[in-house]
Amino acid sequence: MRAASGGLPRVDFEPMLRFDPAKTAYLTLSVKGRKAKAAAEMRILYCQTNMAKDCVDEALMDPSLEPEVMREIDKVLEGFRHQAIRFDHVATRRAGRRRFIDLHMHMPAGWTLGRAAALRTDVEQALMSAVPGLRASIQLLPTDVEAHFHDVKDPL
């Protein structure tokens, strides 16, 4: 690590980062002397800027699940759908290698707690078996109860 202009440490993160090879080639192609130093500093700045953006994006916001994983989840939930059972308010996210899903499962109010809990366990196990690393959390609600009164109805 050496000090760059302005006394800031200059570190070449190139081996660790994904960057645009065309821009890097443009910055370093047939440049000599002071221009080579300026081009190298620009490349480093470019890489550091991308790294900072990626870190902020991943640190501040957990991304949602991949489309192929969502299709697997939809298939599992479709297998449990029935005229007496519906799912809504599905929220997914990724954090590191883990995947998470939170959802509401509506069922008849007359069901016993044991019957409802058994079905929830079956749904959770089916989801976690279909998607490795998934942690499922299902809130049980009677059919005629909505937990989010002002939300637009979810498509699921």
Contact 99, 92 (CB under 8 A): yes
Task: Assess if CATH 3.40.50.720 describes domain 67-142.
Answer: no
Of residues 63 and 141, more confidently modeled: 141
CATH 3.30.70.1350: which residues of the chain?
67-142
- Averaged over 138-142, what is the pLDDT? 93
**What digits encode the pLDDT tens for the residues 47-100?**
666 666 665 555 555 677 888 999 999 999 999 998 899 999 998 888 888 889
Q: How far apart are CA 46 and CA 41, in angstroms?
A: 8
Q: How many CB atoms lie within 10 A of CB 15?
A: 6
